Chains A and B, each alone.
Chain A
Amino acid sequence: DAGVTQSPTHLIKTRGQQVTLRCSPKSGHDTVSWYQQALGQGPQFIFQYYEEEERQRGNFPDRFSGHQFPNYSSELNVNALLLGDSALYLCASRAGTGVRRYEQYFGPGTRLTVT
């Protein structure tokens, strides 16, 4: 049973550029969330996708956008990169029903460095 997978593993970008990160959820999961983890901090919720729509959003600017595909995979896009966007970006997936919908499983993350 494949867990949550993310690509790429590492990425280096320059200020002002745009980046796309990808996530495939755990088998049987239909909801994907994205988190940003700055160095030495706990993860911060960016947004969640279900049925190809953004359902919840954290306190992140519009430069952060996403997409979910019919196969439940998801992309996170960040435009006009700032140095402060350097972080580990984590994707998490969950099932949609019952108490299990509170239980999220995380991928290994994409380490983004903005120079």
Chain B
Amino acid sequence: QQQVKQSPQSLIVQKGGIPIINCAYENTAFDYFPWYQQFPGKGPALLIAIRPDVSEKKEGRFTISFNKSAKQFSLHIMDSQPGDSATYFCAASMKSGGSNYKLTFGKGTLLTVNP
């Protein structure tokens, strides 16, 4: 059972475009929602994250929008650049065993930004 559903699977935009990646979850026990960026041959790296008491968070050109009632969140990349071409993963975290947290990932979106 996939707990975090991510779409689209792949996305191609032109430089300067605004790609949007969407995620949805079912388990209301999730209480932290990070996005990770992965370049080929590298491990995922934390990009930006949001907690459910906030509807939007911006860091540079990256924005997360969060809709708690719909159990959905999305990543927007403003003024996208070819260097943003990577695989993006949404994730959701909840407590698992004492004070530890378990991170569950979406299936990833391969973003290509053409020059």
- Are chains A and B native binding partners rather than an unrelated pairing? no
On B, residues with C-beta under 8 Å from A are: none
On A, residues with C-beta under 8 Å from B are: none
